[in-house]
Structure formats: C-alpha cells, structure tokens
C-alpha cells in the first residue's frame, strides 16, 4: 500500500503530486444530509495557500477546489465526495539538477530507496502540497463536527523558540498576524526573527497547539485505538512533524503523581468536573468531556538557500543551495493541516463510538422502525 | 470496536482484564517457519513482571505463558498463534470501595461514561496488566525481526527528572539496575529519589528511549502510514504514555534549518551516509537505513497512597488514599512494553513494504515457480 | 496475514487447530451491556458438535466453552470477549501416514505449497474444527441481533439431490431430524440415502438455506460493502462451501426482467411492500426491510473410505483409503456455521450502518449530552 | 462508511454518480515501476462503453480517461494513481418524474431508506456507470498481473437460458460477437432472442464465466480471507450479480465425494497435477497452481419499457414504463467488470501472500542489503 487512505468509517483517500496534473481526495463515509459547498472547502484551503505574505512561498497558486461527486442539491448524499484541485504552476521548468542529487532534510533519498526512482518535480508526493487533500477532507470533517457541537482551535504556540504567553492569549488575534499566533506581542517578535532568518537564508521551526471543545465523553477506544494514539498518528503523519504530546506531555514525565493527577469534583448542578487538565482530556484513551489539548513539534523548513553538503547521483560529495524562494517557516501554513488531521480523527472516532453500548444501539434501531 | 486489534499483515488481537480469568493475545499473520517456544515469550513477559524489586508491585504473579496454537514441531505454521496467561491472584477481595468512586488519573470515569458500567476489579481492561498481550506478541515480533537482522534497544532515559549521561552510556548496565538505565550513576540517583517518593506516598514519571538498528531503508509508507506515525501511535497507545518524539523531536522545533538538516556524504565503499541523525532515521515516513531513535514520555503512576480529592457515586466530594502497594514508578516495567509496540509496528511495516516495487514483486513470484 | 480476523466494528479473531491444545475466538467490539453466559454459547456449539447421530463423526468431544474475558456480572463490558474450547481427543496417534501424502479434496497440498510445511494432525487449521471459533462468536452475534429484533432461520434445503418441498415446510421439524430439514418426508429419504452411501464408503453434499427476518431497511453499504457481497464472502469462507446465491440467484440469470423485478405496492397502513421477493431482500447492496434469503452449496465430505488415487511425498502415485470414521455428510453440522457467519456479518453491518445519516448522528450525540 | 474502498495492500477508492461531474478511482498501493498509459486503461473502459451495438444503450459517451497522478515518465511511482472520466451527457433533463417513484428492481427505495434522500438522476451512485472506477482500476491490476504472468479470460457463458457449448469453445470468438460468447453458434441464437425481447420491451439475464491461468500456488489466506471468498465478494459486489460459484459450484452439492474429489498424480517431470478440477483451483482458500474458474449469475436488466406496477411518493399505487432506451441485457458489458473485480482481488492477494513464509521474507530483505 502507499498509505494514502485514512480512517475506519469516515475514510479519506488522498492523491496527487506537487507538479502533476492536480491533487485531491475522496471522502468515503460522510453521513448523508450535511450541507456542503465548494466555499466551505475553499475557506480551509485558503488557510494553507502559498503566497499569502512575505514569509510564505510567493508562488501564486489559486488552489481552487471542485467537488465532483457525493453532493446533490447542496447536501452530501452519503456516497464518496471527490474533490480536486488542479495544479496551476506546472511550468516546463528544468528539474534535471534537482533530480541529480538528494536534498538534505527531504525524502528524496528514501523515496529512491523505496521505489527505485521518484517524481522529482517539486518533491512529487512528498511535497507539502500533498496536504491539500488532507485539508479539503478536513474541511468536510469540521462541518460534520460543528453539526455535532465540536469546535477545534489551532494556532502557533512557539516559533523559532519564541513562545506565546497564556496571559496575553487572544483567540481573535490568530487570524490577524501572519504567523497564526494568539498573542500579538509574540507574533511581532517572531516576525522580526523571520526577517533575520530570511536574510541568513535559514529557516525556523515551531510548536502548534490544538484545543478541542464540545467533544462528548466516551469517544475513543481502549487499548490500540485510543483517541490520544489516533490523534498522535494523525498529526505525526504530517510531513514536518517530529513530536506529539497530549496535555502536559513531556512535562508530565518530570512531574510527581500527586501534582499530575487531575482530581474530580461535583459541580452544583451535579456534573462531574476536574480541578485541572494535565491529562489533556483523555483517560484510558477515552475522552472525558473536558477540553482536549495537544501540541505538535514542527521542524524547520528543510529547503534553505544556505550552502549545504550532500551527494549527487554521479557518486560525488557536493555542496548545494536550494534554489527558488521557500517559506522560512512551515508552522503557520501547517496550522490548518494539524486542525484537519484532528478533525478527521475526531469525526471517525465519533462515528465508531456509536456502537459502544447495547442500550444505545437497541434504541437507535427501535427509532428506525 | 473495542480497539484491541492492531496491524495490517502482522496483526494482533489482545484480550483480558486485571482480575478476570486471564489475559492473552492472538497473533495473526506471523510468517511460517519461525522457531518459537514458550521460553521465547516468557523472557519478555518476565521483563514486565511485577514483584521483581522494591520499586515494583510486590504481587507475586507467575505470568506463565502457554502457546495454544499456531506452532507445530517448534516452528510457527503461518496460522494464528494464541497465547494465554492465567491470572493467579484473583483473590475474592472486596472491591466495593473501589467500585464506588473514581480514582484520579485513572480511566474509571471514562469507562463508565463510555460503557455505562465497568469491571472495577483492579482497573479491569484499563489495568497495566492489559500489556501482557502486547508483550507476548511483541516477543514473537522481536524473533521475526532478529531473523531479518533488526535489533531494538530500549531503556529508561530519564526518571523523576534525572537523566542519563550519553557519555556514560553502557548497554550492559540496563539489565543490572532496577530502573533499566544504561548509566549506573544516574540509576543510583534515581533509586534514592524513588526511596524518598515511596516514603512520601508519591510517584514519579520518566522518559523511555528506543533505538532500532539494522532496519533496511525503504520501510514505512508515505502520507498516513509513515513509519514515524505508526511508531507514534503504537507507543501513544500504551496507557501512561503522554508524548512521543522522533529524533530531536521537540528540540527540532527550536532549531534552525541549517543545523537541523542531516547532510549526506559518500563513504569510501560508495555507501551513502549522513553526518548527523537529527531526523531519527526516517524521512518522508520512510526509513533511510540508519539508526531509528525515539522517545516516549511516561506520566507518574496515578495510584498513590497520598490523600487525593475525588467524587463517589453517591454524589459526594470525598478524599481517598489508594490502598495496596503500587509501583512508585511505571517506567522500568514499561520499557519492554515500548519495545514490544515498536517491534510489532516494525514487523508489520516490513511485511507491508515487500510490495513496493514491481521488480521485486516480479522476481519474488518468478522464484516461486 | 493468515486471514483469521473478520469484521469492521464487530470483529472476531479465531485460532486453533484440530489437534492442538484447543480452539477459540476473541470477539472485539461487542456493545457493552449484553447479557451473556457460557450456556448461550454452548447451545450453538452443541449444534455443530460431532458424535450426535450416526451420520456424524463418532468422536466424543465435549467442546465445552469457557469465557475468559469481556463479561462481568453476567453482561458484556465492551472489551474483548475471549472464548476457548480445549481439545479433548489429542491422542498420541501416529500421524506419520497422513503426513506422507496429500488427501484428495483437502487443503494438505495447498498448505504445504503456501507455508512450506503443515500441521498434518487431523488437518490442522484446515479442519472443520476451525469453525468452533466462528460458531462461538456467532452465538454472541445472534444474541446481539435478537436484542435488536433480528431472527435467523437456517436449515438443509437439499442433500444428495433430495430437496425439501416448500409446501411441507415445518420450522419445528428442523431440530427433530438428524439432517436439519424442515420437511420430515424429505429428511426420511435423505436418511435412507445416507445409509446407502455409508455402506458404499462415499459421501454426499447439499444446499443450506438461510432466512433473515426483522432486519431494518438501510443495512449494507453501496458498492463494495454490499450486504449481499459480505454475506457471500462470509459464507464462501466456510471450508466446504462452493457457491452462494441471493434470492432467486442462478435462476434469475434465466428469467426475464418483467418476471424477475419485484414490484412495490402500498399496504393499507401506508407501508411500502413488494409483491414478490426474487431479489432476496437486498437492492443495491442495501436491505429493503423484507426477508433476506440466500443459499450455500456445500460439497460432499472429501474424506471417504473408498479407494482414491493420490501422490505421496516420496514421489509415488499411490492409492489411499482415508481411515477413521468420517461424516458421510457435512451439511447438517454446517447449518449452524452458515447461521453464525450470517449473524456475524449482520451484526457488523448493523453497527456500521449507524453513521449513514447526519440527522441520526446528530440526535444520537444530542441524547448523550 | 459508504463502502467505496476495496483491498488490503492494492487498494482502490471509487467515486462518482451517473449524472454528476464525472466518475473515477484512486488506486493506492500499486507497486512502483509498472509501465502505464491512458491507453492501457482506455482499452478496458471501451469494453464496458455504452453505444457499441444495438443491444447496448445508444447513449454516446466517450468515457475518456485521464490519469491525474501516480505515473511519472510512463511508469507508476508507487503513490496513488488517480483516474477520472468526465460525464459527457449531463443533459438538463427533467428528472422530476423518476424522482417521484421507485423503479422496481432498482435501488431507489433502499437508498431513500438508508440516506433519507437520493441523487435520482440516472440512478446516481447505484447506476451501472459506477463500474467505471472498478474497470479503470481493474486495468491497472491486469497490467500488474500480466507482469507476474497471470492471465484472465472472461466471457458470457449463458444468456437468456442459451448456453455455450464447451466443444465449440473458441477464445477468439469472444471479441467478434456483440454478446461476448466464445461460441459463434450460441451467440447467433442469443442475438435472435435479444431482438425478440427488445420488441417485447423486456430484458434477459445470464451467466458470466471467468478463467484464471498462471496464478502461482499458495495465493489466498486460510479461514476468512480465502481466495474463493474474496473472489466471491468482489463479484457479488457488482450491481446485478445474484450468485457466485467456484468450480462445479452448485453442481458439487449434488455430487458424491468419490466423483467430486480431484485426485493428484505426478507428471513425468515430477510436477504434481490433478486429474480433474471440480474444485476450481482453490483448496482451503488457497490456489493450487491450476486454472481457477468461477461463474457469476447476472439478473436481467431491471429497466424495462414494459408496464410495471410500483408506488410513487404521493402515496399512490401506480403503473410505470421506464423511458429511454436501455440495454435488454447487461451481461456482455458486465464481462469486463467481472474481469476487473477478479483482477483487483488477485493483485491484492498476491501482494498479501508475499509474507507467508519466513525463508522468503528473510531472503527478500537479504537481497535488499
């Protein structure tokens, strides 16, 4: 398998290369009756679109999505939703140089090792453009989640070592600055750093944070299909992500049990709540009804203009400078990709969880008769 | 689904509760012809066995494994391998108290929310004993990997904030100290800390590190089935794990591209190598033939004797002290669980990867004729 | 994979060989709260038990099932249900002869070709005893179906060319005669034929019919996961089954459209019904709420005492007479296996179908809050 | 799930409706290095194209396929192959009548029951045009099979009760007559019958036969993933197929064991062969290296101009005559669909079978180093 299919009930199948005819996704298993338009999808794709500001690739790509199936009279029909984005900038560029060597930090070498050859144009399938299918499908998942009452908030927590302050956290600010930070002050600092790194022909990485609210308790399966494990896989499957942590994550490893445990209490209305949320809203792999929060570590953009050592296919040790202007930072554009992967995972696990209890199953089918 | 099945070609199905009749696993898809005995399995189970030293539960459990199927005349037959461990200490203990409230840091609450009721005896399926099936299956996977030439080394990197020094790294030391550290000096410090925490009725967490050598390049699938994503899921599916990072992981998020990229060079024999391994041996989700290394964050044992606040089923806010002697640290016993999950993932992805190239497929079947 | 796992949400993992330690199954994904006892399972296993009458293997096997996990205080907990049957008659018999040649009509040769060697004792995994796991799991699925209101009736339609008459159809008769026919007269004829074939050291085949009532409409997925396709796979996966037909099946191939189409009409209460059921209750892969009926062709028992030609491992063309007393007919014992496979498929597809419509999904989770 | 994904390693994801923008498929898991052009695909699509002769829908549809990804410099890259066929005849036809009632023999009613509404234009997803994705993917599978040495021959065995004679079997004849029969005489008779049925506004069904040669032994997994069970599912998932039989199939149910068993013998070159092939080339679910043959029962076209009774949405019992010219027979166009589903199943199970034996696995990875 080439591994481009994801999910159990809400399943997606993505395809496409950086410089092929286009990219797309088929969503198989979206419940029937969900209102869906191309605009719903485009909104999400626009969040990952290149050329939006000076820290992102200046390639002007429309990335306009078309829905080819599965929607009738404005609503999903329950059959596969095929979405397609044609590539605009398939210039008849000369790729012979890039074909001749292995870019450090990229998958050129491993693709050749696995498949014997590779589509070297712009990275082929290993390009960041691969995420177009994820985001288009993620937009559908988000619409489904909203109908159920689940909201996802995703943003840059840290870039180039500069972290947001939780005290200055302002949700509205995320869309206002080019680095997707909920803290205007940190964003300013990051912008200054990025200017500097652009000049140095270097790049930076960062941490993306995601918060999920409104998720009912009981979602996620024990043992291997824990909600946490599936969120982890989903996020770690994104190209540049090198780490994942739920709740306190790696900090929990340094904590003591008495401080790390989240204690329960009854609210006045009889609802059970927790005094803290170190665990990130998931216990035993199952959601507890509180906010879920996790973080993803994103490595610095591997494509840099700075001179790097590598090897070519002629058997020589060489030095290269990756041409073309590249994003000095992936993080802001990856925010919507992380959100999409979280949404796809949640949509799937919500549907899967419907069969957990006999009483709910019996009453579901009784209602149907 | 209850989520107790894992894998695509090398698949396992685990079952069992802490205080039920027993626990076990069915391994479906192990290639035929692998020499396998109960001793092979027992060695791994003994590494997670309780009662081995003063920092582990003193419950005396044999955890003796029986192979019930799939092995004939000392070799696997290609059919499912069923392995079973009977529970020894199913004492007719009174569990009415534990049934009446939700232990902080445990899955009691989420199981009740999901299923409407729970097997409260010793945590039922959410107990650490659930990992018996993983480790028994992991032992089979390890034997398969060894036949292919893959070796896995797993150990405690950090416990209670005390980290090993890479300069003092001694592989042989791992089995000599009760905390599975490859650094005798750090292990001593950790032991002292654990003594202290035992007295305080508290617990500590830590970080487990895993190093995989001998894995061919080309293993792992692009996009969703990246080797890194599947290792992440595998490890994050272990009860107490809260974070996963590959290679430099979260540190890569703070690095610059010029420092984080691993540059290639030709060795004298013409082999392509890398000058560093920040990436952890996986690019684009595919192994590059170098060492793979990752880390898992393990939270402190949630069961502590220290007084904690929680709620009971009678609708009251109460204070509890978890009775029985519990491990003040899970990390050393979890080392073999992490290793098992890594082995299961590698075994599966190795087999899956066999169909990546037409030339290899054609020559495979030509040889068969 | 060895292919011993079946299902998407209601999944089973079977294991065991004819003359190994035992056989069993793990049921993963049964909704929590289903009352379940070992007696529930035993009833089904007893229907496939050998030694019940003179047409079945006289081996005295108890086939007593034990539930090892997943049930607490008499109800399923939502976690894996492990069931085990120990083999009683593992006599230290000499199998060297059977190991030396390939029995015609059996899987001895193909197992050797696939795996390089085989567990030759009693056919190993390819023995009819493999169905113990299917039937134990099928019993659980049947209990779940009954809770939802679905009933399955399965019986021998034809044996050795002798077919039941629909005019004499008597449901109660199925359990009264040793050949599981709902027609006493046909059953008598079959018994006479079997006596004759026993003397001739030969065997006969037959057709099993299955009728499913109470299944809601809307079950089954379009395209590849049609209810009909999955019932077909389930039934064709049983060792001796060589054909499957839904509704009129092969007879429909000879019919004209005007006669084969089932026309709709309104009943007085406004319900939509069909005037006929040539289609077998499934259209476009989806149940229409009427009775589902299908048939399975079962080949004659391959183990016969009559002299047969074959080859041995020494490279010789030989003649063999399969020793031991064998069933001259598999059909009656296979009835409960067909019923089990149908039940497992229906249980799984019912659970899968719960996420088909947005309105149902939204109201499901609204109720949960 | 909507069930439009098929396969384990060689996986396909189909999409599209009769009168939507188009139809297509994503093939995920095709080995890298397979030469593939749009012409390779078009050849297969042309075999199912409408408007080819007087017994097929006269709608002029080009059904021209485009490959959008996964192929680079004429060879598959190992990444998903996306193929698309735009619909040509999306006329702004008035579908209000067809939307108002349920066509007998069609899935209109069950789609409404399952999803609450349906894309009624030309049958939407339940149209025969859904098979475009199957055939495009099947063409890729066939190319892969040919590279391995597997050939598939598929043809009409019986139409409207008229069966071919095996004595007159002529492979070359299949492509010469409009009913895809390997027997010119039978084809002539069928043509006469079809002329008659066209005048009567009625339709006929038939039986398709498929013969697979060159498949190595050892393909298929025991228990649930038998090659026979998967071929059965694949074929039964095609819209109009109502039955499946392997080898002698239903005739085996009437045979005696002594006649039905296929006996083995040694050829002079030491190869093991069988004297007969009643079993259809599969034992215990595993191929034995001989020819595999199976049959599919196809019902008569449900769309007929003859007056039929049904119900409308206004609550009335009505009579309808399905307008437009429809094929009086589906069988000839379904031949390539059956072949495609067989090819997809074989391709997948061949790849899956590569991991059956340790020695083969070990030597595979040794060669890689």
Tokens standing for B156? 């405690």
- Does any CB of chain C come closer than 8 Å to the CB of residue B125? yes
Tokens standing for D30? 């095709």
- Does any CB of chain A come closer than 8 Å to the CB of residue C69? no
* Cross-chain residue pair D31–B361, CB shorter than 8 Å: yes
- Does any CB of chain A come closer than 8 Å to the CB of residue C5? no
Residues 6+ apart with CB under 8 A from B72: C17, C20, C117, C118, C119, C121, C124
CA distance B147 to chain D (A): 7
- Does any CB of chain D come closer than 8 Å to the CB of residue B214? no
CA–CA separation, A170 vs A187, rounded Å? 12
Q: Please, what are the domains in chain C?
A: 5-366 (3.60.150.10)
Q: Which of D111, D144, D152 is nearest to D12 (CA)?
A: D144
Task: Please tell me which of the candidates B202, B261, B310 has its beta carbon nearest to residue A263.
Answer: B310
Question: Using a CB-CB distance cutoff of 8 angstroms, which residues of chain A are in contact with residue B119?
Answer: none
**Cβ-contact D210, D138 below 8 angstroms:** no
Classify strands A286-287 and A282-283 as parallel, antiparallel or unpaired. antiparallel
CA distance B21 to chain C (A): 5
Angle, vertex CA D97, rays to CA D95 and CA D101, nearest 5: 120
Residues 6+ apart with CB under 8 A from A30: A10, A70, A76, A78, A81, A140, A144, D2
Nearest residue of B to residue A113, measured between CA atoms:
B218
pLDDT in tens, chain A (369 residues): 779 999 999 999 999 999 999 999 999 999 999 999 999 999 999 998 755 666 665 555 589 999 999 999 999 999 999 999 999 865 556 677 789 999 999 999 999 999 999 999 989 999 999 999 999 999 999 999 999 999 999 999 999 999 999 999 999 999 999 999 999 999 999 999 999 999 999 999 999 999 999 999 999 999 999 999 999 999 999 999 999 999 999 999 999 999 999 999 999 999 999 999 999 999 999 999 999 999 999 999 999 999 999 999 999 999 999 877 678 999 999 999 999 999 999 999 999 999 999 999 999 999 765
Residue B50, pLDDT > 70, answer no
Higher pLDDT, C158 or C313: C158
List the beta bridge partners of residue D246.
D294
Residue A362: Cβ-neighbour burial (10 angstroms; 0-12, 13-18, 19+): middle
Tokens standing for B349? 């992805």
Question: Using a CB-CB distance cutoff of 8 angstroms, which residues of chain B are in contact with residue D79?
Answer: 222
Q: Which of B240, B289, D264, B100 is nearest to A229 (CA)?
A: B240
* Cross-chain residue pair D237–C252, CB shorter than 8 Å: no
Question: Using a CB-CB distance cutoff of 8 angstroms, which residues of chain A are in contact with residue C356?
Answer: 31-32, 78
- Give the ipTM: 0.96
CA distance B28 to chain C (A): 6
* Cross-chain residue pair C2–B28, CB shorter than 8 Å: yes
pLDDT digits (tens, 9 = 90+) for C231-266: 999 999 999 999 999 999 999 999 999 999 999 999
- Does any CB of chain B come closer than 8 Å to the CB of residue A50? no
CA–CA separation, D14 vs D80, rounded Å? 12
**Cβ-contact C132, C138 below 8 angstroms:** no
Question: Using a CB-CB distance cutoff of 8 angstroms, which residues of chain D are in contact with residue A84?
Answer: 68, 84
* Cross-chain residue pair C149–A365, CB shorter than 8 Å: yes
CB contacts < 8 A (A, B): 383
- Does any CB of chain A come closer than 8 Å to the CB of residue D182? no
pLDDT digits (tens, 9 = 90+) for B163-198: 999 999 999 999 999 999 999 999 999 999 999 999
Angle, vertex CA C155, rays to CA C151 and CA C160, nearest 5: 165
- Does any CB of chain C come closer than 8 Å to the CB of residue D243? yes
Angle, vertex CA C84, rays to CA C80 and CA C86, nearest 5: 165
CB contacts < 8 A (A, D): 168
Nearest residue of C to residue B18, measured between CA atoms:
C69
Please give the backbone phi and psi of residue D286, each rounded to the nearest 5 degrees, phi first. -120, 135
Task: Please tell me which of the candidates D31, D147, D361 has its beta carbon nearest to residue B148.
Answer: D361
> How far does Cα C243 stand from its chain's mean position?
13
pLDDT digits (tens, 9 = 90+) for B55-67: 665 555 589 999 9
D112 CB neighbour count, 10 Å cutoff:
18
For residue C307, the model assigns a pLDDT of 94
Residue D203: Cβ-neighbour burial (10 angstroms; 0-12, 13-18, 19+): buried
Nearest residue of C to residue B4, measured between CA atoms:
C28
Nearest residue of B to residue C352, measured between CA atoms:
B1
CA–CA separation, C285 vs C262, rounded Å? 15
**What's the length of chain A?**
369
Residues 6+ apart with CB under 8 A from D151: D145, D212, D213, D214
Split at pLDDT 50, 70, 90, the class of C94 is low
Please give the backbone phi and psi of residue B90, each rounded to the nearest 5 degrees, phi first. -85, 65
Concatenate the DSSP letters of all residues of A9-46 into one string. SSEEEEEE-TTSSEEEEEEE-PPBT-B--HHHHHHHHH
Residue C60, pLDDT > 90, answer no
B260-281 CB burial, b ≥16 within 10 A, e <16? bbbbbeeeeeeebbbeebbbbb
Token pair 């009738």 is found at A72
Question: Using a CB-CB distance cutoff of 8 angstroms, which residues of chain A are in contact with residue C355?
Answer: 9-10, 29, 31, 351, 354
Residue C216, pLDDT > 60, answer yes
Q: What is the mean pLDDT of chain C?
A: 94
> How far does Cα D182 stand from its chain's mean position?
18
Average confidence (pLDDT) over B200-228: 97
Query: For chain C, which chains pass the contact test of at least 3 CB pairs under 8 Å?
Result: A, B, D
Residue D165: Cβ-neighbour burial (10 angstroms; 0-12, 13-18, 19+): exposed
Please give the backbone phi and psi of residue C205, each rounded to the nearest 5 degrees, phi first. -110, -165
Which A residues 22-41 touch D at CB under 8 Å? 22-24, 26, 28-30, 32-33
CA–CA separation, B128 vs B135, rounded Å? 12
Question: Using a CB-CB distance cutoff of 8 angstroms, which residues of chain D are in contact with residue C115?
Answer: 218, 356-357
CA–CA separation, C45 vs C37, rounded Å? 13
Give CA separation, A215 vs A262, A286, A359, B24, B154, in Å: 18, 11, 21, 33, 36
Higher pLDDT, B1 or B299: B299
CA–CA separation, D369 vs D366, rounded Å? 6
- Give alpha helix (H) positions in B157-298: 184-199, 227-236, 257-260
Task: Please tell me which of the candidates C78, C144, C354 has its beta carbon nearest to residue A354.
Answer: C354
Task: Please tell me which of the candidates A33, A79, A365 has its beta carbon nearest to residue C357.
Answer: A33
**Cβ-contact B255, A205 below 8 angstroms:** yes
Average confidence (pLDDT) over B326-338: 93
Question: Using a CB-CB distance cutoff of 8 angstroms, which residues of chain C are in contact with residue B22?
Answer: 68-69
pLDDT in tens, chain D (369 residues): 779 999 999 999 999 999 999 999 999 999 999 999 999 999 999 998 755 666 665 555 589 999 999 999 999 999 999 999 999 865 556 677 789 999 999 999 999 999 999 999 989 999 999 999 999 999 999 999 999 999 999 999 999 999 999 999 999 999 999 999 999 999 999 999 999 999 999 999 999 999 999 999 999 999 999 999 999 999 999 999 999 999 999 999 999 999 999 999 999 999 999 999 999 999 999 999 999 999 999 999 999 999 999 999 999 999 999 877 678 999 999 999 999 999 999 999 999 999 999 999 999 999 766
Task: Please tell me which of the candidates C158, C232, C242 has its beta carbon nearest to residue D248.
Answer: C242
- Does any CB of chain A come closer than 8 Å to the CB of residue B263? yes
For residue D157, the model assigns a pLDDT of 98
Q: Which of B1, B3, B298, B308 to mutate to test the interface with A (most CBs of A within 10 A)?
A: B3
For residue A61, the model assigns a pLDDT of 56
3-state secondary structure of A224: helix
pLDDT digits (tens, 9 = 90+) for C307-332: 999 999 999 999 999 877 678 999 99
Concatenate the DSSP letters of all residues of B114-148 into one string. HHSS---GGGGGGSGGGHHHHHHHHHHHHHHHHHH
Question: Using a CB-CB distance cutoff of 8 angstroms, which residues of chain D are in contact with residue A74?
Answer: none
Query: For chain B, which chains pass the contact test of at least 3 CB pairs under 8 Å?
Result: A, C, D
pTM of the model: 0.97
Nearest residue of A to residue D8, measured between CA atoms:
A1
CA–CA separation, B278 vs B290, rounded Å? 11
Give CA separation, C190 vs A330, C118, C278, C312, C338, in Å: 75, 36, 28, 35, 20
Residues 6+ apart with CB under 8 A from C16: B68, B69, B80, B82, C22, C23, C24, C85, C87, C125, C129, C130, C132, C133
- Does any CB of chain D come closer than 8 Å to the CB of residue C115? yes
- Does any CB of chain D come closer than 8 Å to the CB of residue B76? yes
Question: Using a CB-CB distance cutoff of 8 angstroms, which residues of chain B are in contact with residue C11?
Answer: 1, 5
**Cβ-contact C206, C221 below 8 angstroms:** no
Residue B134, pLDDT > 90, answer yes
Which A residues 309-368 touch C at CB under 8 Å? 350-352, 354-362, 364-365, 368
């Amino acid at each position: 398998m080439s591994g481009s299919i994801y999910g159990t009930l809400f399943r997606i199948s993505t395809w496409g290369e950086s410089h092929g005819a286009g990219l797309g996704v088929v969503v198989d298993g979206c419940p029937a009756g969900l209102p869906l338009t191309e605009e719903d999808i485009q909104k999400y794709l626009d969040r990952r679109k290149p050329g939006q500001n000076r820290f992102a690739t200046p390639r002007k790509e429309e990335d306009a999505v078309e829905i080819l199936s599965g929607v009738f009279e404005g609503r999903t029909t329950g059959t596969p939703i095929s979405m397609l984005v044609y590539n605009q900038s398939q210039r008849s560029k000369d790729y012979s140089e890039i074909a001749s060597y292995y870019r450090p930090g990229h998958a050129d070498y491993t693709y050749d090792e696995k498949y014997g050859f590779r589509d070297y144009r712009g990275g082929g399938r290993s390009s960041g453009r691969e995420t177009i299918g994820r985001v288009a499908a993620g937009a559908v998942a988000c619409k489904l989640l909203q109908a159920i009452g689940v909201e996802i908030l995703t943003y840059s927590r840290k870039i180039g070592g500069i972290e947001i302050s939780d005290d200055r956290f302002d949700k509205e600010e995320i869309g206002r600055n080019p680095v997707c930070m909920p803290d205007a002050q940190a964003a300013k600092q990051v912008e200054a750093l990025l200017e500097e790194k652009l000049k140095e022909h270097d790049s930076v990485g960062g941490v993306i944070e995601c918060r999920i609210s409104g998720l009912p308790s009981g979602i996620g399966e024990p043992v291997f299909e824990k909600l946490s494990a599936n969120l982890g896989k989903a996020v770690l499957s994104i190209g540049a992500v090198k780490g994942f942590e739920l709740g306190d994550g790696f900090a929990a490893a340094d904590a003591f049990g008495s401080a790390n445990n989240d204690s329960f209490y009854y609210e006045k209305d009889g609802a059970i709540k927790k005094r803290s949320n170190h665990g990130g809203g998931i216990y035993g792999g199952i959601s507890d009804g509180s906010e879920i929060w996790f973080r993803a570590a994103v490595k610095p953009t591997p494509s840099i203009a700075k001179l790097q050592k590598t090897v070519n296919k002629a058997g020589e040790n060489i030095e290269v400078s990756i041409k073309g202007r590249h994003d000095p930072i992936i993080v802001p554009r990856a925010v919507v990709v992380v959100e999409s992967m979280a949404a796809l995972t949640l949509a799937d696990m919500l549907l899967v969880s419907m069969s957990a209890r006999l009483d709910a199953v019996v009453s579901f089918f009784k209602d149907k008769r």
